[in-house]
Structure 1
Amino acid sequence: MVSEQLSYGNNPDVKTILILAANPTSTSSLRLDEEVREIDEGLRRANKREEFKLEQKWAVRSRDFYRAMLDCQPQIVHFSGHGAGQDGIVLDDETGQPALICADALGSMFKLFATKGVECVLLNACYSEVQAKAISQHVNYVIGMNQAVGDKAAIAFSVAFYDALAAGQQVEFAYELGCSILIKYLEQQTPVLFKKEQISIIPSQPEIDIIPPNPYQGLAAFGEEDAAFFFGRETFVNGLVEAVKKQPYSKTAHSLIKHTKRSGV
């Protein structure tokens, strides 16, 4: 069932926080009601309380998970319950027994709901880092737990997190505040924040005109390495070779001098 909502008027900028809770009968008991109550009270007393409303869904089954998001269209989704590492997070089945939902299924689901406004997901469950990472491919901010987290620590983190958001702080600040509160429990390293990878578009580089090397050596002599620049005198050289073959050297030289003066070569 859905809890009493905060008074938020007709503000179009209101953010809906959807809390999905599951604690199957055969799993260790969690103080989920205390966690939700503390979050609710924190939101009610906050400076920005009119910017948030709180929705709750208990004994969540797999279909309840997506139904609640369809109904509430939340910007923030908070899961409270147990986690099972690689196997997933623990929901209820139709008989109240544990039912797992894996990282791939969560990632696929949040890929759709990210397009409907989901901006942040908090998986307040043990060993939920794997699921958080999968969801973070599609949602801007996702928090999971990299190991077991105590019940008191889990409550303390989530309350501080939402207190900060309700005071107008950004997600990163709220996360850091929550972690700082966990120092007293020696669990400040347990929550992990993932941010969706942003694809940066590298601007195209402007075309640069490549200036070729200067073929004019000035007073320097041409060498073998300058062969590519030494061209255009083949006709003169070939004529000189033929002239040397046909005439004595002295006549050839005299003719060459006259030709040079006339042609300006």
Structure 2
Amino acid sequence: MTGTNVAKKKILILAAFSAQSDLDLGKEIEEIEEIMQGGSKSFDVDQRTAKTVDKVRQAIRYESPQIVHFCGHGLEDGSFLLDDENDKTKKHPLEPKGLAGFFSNLTDVECVILNACYSVKAADLIAENIAYVIGMNRAIGDDAAIKFVRGFYEALRDEALGNRPDVFDKAFERGLQALGGHDPSQQDIPVIRKNLTVQKPEVRLISPAEHSTVPMRSTFSGTYKHLEEDMSLWLFIFAPGEGKYYLDEIVNYRNGNWEVSGVIIGGEVDNRATYEVGVLIADAEATRTLRIGSDGLKELPSGVKKFSDYSIYRE
């Protein structure tokens, strides 16, 4: 018996503000947790409080989220007010450039929501590395911000069930609708910045042949529209029991769409194993290495970015 699960996405709610701030972020956090945990099997929600620059950096870097929801106190110059690392009685501004730097080279993050006043400056900079970023172009009221958040996450929960590629666009639109119903004068405050050149590859399972003579012979398809010259795209199967990667180079690649068929997952004996499936992007040097030998690798070469989307199990 075989089955598939789309890997759950992690939402990191990052409450970043000075200890002396009068912000009450509890209601906003409760709204997100109630919506996503109450009706969605596609997301895990993790909440962290980060009152210093270093705590913000650590949370973003080490929690490996796909969605980062940043809530805090934004200043008119686009900075965020935090505590000083060495003296909690002093305030320390985290500038937009500093926050944006924490998102460089993070291939797992798909969307960042900066639910703080004047956060559009940071959104512009973060969008250099992240596909979807939402910020606020001026001060926004607490109730209005929460209305936007509720509409956004309700749509994210609902749209994700269909695995839509435009899920963040749809969620943003629903957030604006919810905000407009509450206070039309603030409906133009949230803005979305998109940089699809950094969008992660997508992979879909088309047809596992359940009656195949092998445990699972499958066909996968996907999209990735911005593969640079001299780089290559690979489908990988990781077998945790063996600790090995099995790769197929994606060569049928037209207009950003690809398909790989005849992918064998597992051995002939049903061993109740779970396999990780995803896509690799390899630079020129890594491409040469993989083309020499890409079957049963214990380690991936440097110059490879890994994107995982599925877990496939047999029971």
| Same fold, TM-score > 0.5, yes or no | yes
CA deviation after TM superposition for structure 1 residue 19, in Å:
0.9
SS of equivalent to 2:159: coil
State whether residues 137 and 196 of structure 1, in contact with CA within 8 Å, keep that contact through their aligned partners in structure 2. Answer: yes
SS of equivalent to 1:110: coil
Residue identity matched to 2:16: A
SS of equivalent to 1:74: coil
1:198 aligns with 2:197: yes
SS of equivalent to 1:112: coil
Among residues 155, 168, 183, which one is paired with 1:164 in the alignment? 155
CA deviation after TM superposition for structure 1 residue 11, in Å:
5.2
CA deviation after TM superposition for structure 1 residue 31, in Å:
2.5
State whether residues 135 and 191 of structure 2, in contact with CA within 8 Å, keep that contact through their aligned partners in structure 1. Answer: yes
Among residues 91, 95, 107, which one is paired with 2:100 in the alignment? 107
1:80 aligns with 2:74: no
SS of equivalent to 1:40: helix
Q: Which residue of 2 aligns with 1:148?
A: 139
1:14 aligns with 2:8: yes
Distance 1:164 1:142, change over 3 A: same
What is the percentage of aligned positions where both structures have the same residue?
38
State whether residues 133 and 194 of structure 2, in contact with CA within 8 Å, keep that contact through their aligned partners in structure 1. Answer: yes
Distance 1:112 1:97, change over 3 A: farther
- The alignment of Structure 1 onto Structure 2 pairs a total of residues equal to 187
**TM-score with structure 1 length normalisation?**
0.65
Among residues 42, 50, 53, which one is paired with 1:62 in the alignment? 53
State whether residues 37 and 43 of structure 2, in contact with CA within 8 Å, keep that contact through their aligned partners in structure 1. Answer: no
CA deviation after TM superposition for structure 1 residue 57, in Å:
1.0
Q: Which residue of 2 aligns with 1:118?
A: 109
Which structure shows the higher strand fraction?
Answer: 2
Which structure shows the higher helix fraction?
Answer: 1
Q: Name the CA distance, whole Å, in 2 between partners of 1:74 and 1:20.
A: 11
State whether residues 87 and 100 of structure 1, in contact with CA within 8 Å, keep that contact through their aligned partners in structure 2. Answer: no
SS of equivalent to 1:41: helix
Distance 1:12 1:150, change over 3 A: same
Residue identity matched to 1:24: S
Which one has a bigger Cα radius of gyration?
Answer: 1
Distance 1:52 1:124, change over 3 A: same
1:176 aligns with 2:173: yes
With 192-201 and 86-95 compared, the bigger mean Cα shift is at 192-201
With 139-148 and 51-60 compared, the bigger mean Cα shift is at 51-60
Residue by residue over 1:220-244, the C-alpha shift from the partner in whole angstroms, topping out at 9 and shown as x without a partner, is xxxxxxxxxxxxxxxxxxxxxxxxx
Residue identity matched to 2:14: L
**Runs (4+) off by over 3 Å:** 197-201
State whether residues 85 and 130 of structure 1, in contact with CA within 8 Å, keep that contact through their aligned partners in structure 2. Answer: no
Residue identity matched to 1:127: Y
Correspondences of 1:231-246 after superposition (within 5 Å): none
Q: Name the CA distance, whole Å, in 1 between partners of 2:56 and 2:19.
A: 18
- Unaligned runs of 5+ residues in structure 2 are 161-166, 199-224, 227-315
Q: Name the CA distance, whole Å, in 2 between partners of 1:12 and 1:72.
A: 19
Q: Name the CA distance, whole Å, in 2 between partners of 1:74 and 1:178.
A: 21
State whether residues 131 and 197 of structure 2, in contact with CA within 8 Å, keep that contact through their aligned partners in structure 1. Answer: no
Distance 1:198 1:12, change over 3 A: closer
SS of equivalent to 1:78: strand
Q: Name the CA distance, whole Å, in 2 between partners of 1:68 and 1:52.
A: 18
CA deviation after TM superposition for structure 1 residue 97, in Å:
4.2
State whether residues 22 and 92 of structure 1, in contact with CA within 8 Å, keep that contact through their aligned partners in structure 2. Answer: no
CA deviation after TM superposition for structure 1 residue 87, in Å:
4.5
1:187 aligns with 2:186: yes
Q: Which residue of 2 aligns with 1:33?
A: 26
State whether residues 126 and 145 of structure 1, in contact with CA within 8 Å, keep that contact through their aligned partners in structure 2. Answer: yes
Residue by residue over 1:16-67, the C-alpha shift from the partner in whole angstroms, topping out at 9 and shown as x without a partner, is 111111332443x223111111111111232xx1210111111431111121
State whether residues 61 and 102 of structure 2, in contact with CA within 8 Å, keep that contact through their aligned partners in structure 1. Answer: no
- Unaligned runs of 5+ residues in structure 1 are 1-9, 202-265
Among residues 30, 35, 43, which one is paired with 1:42 in the alignment? 35
Q: Which residue of 1 aligns with 2:62?
A: 71
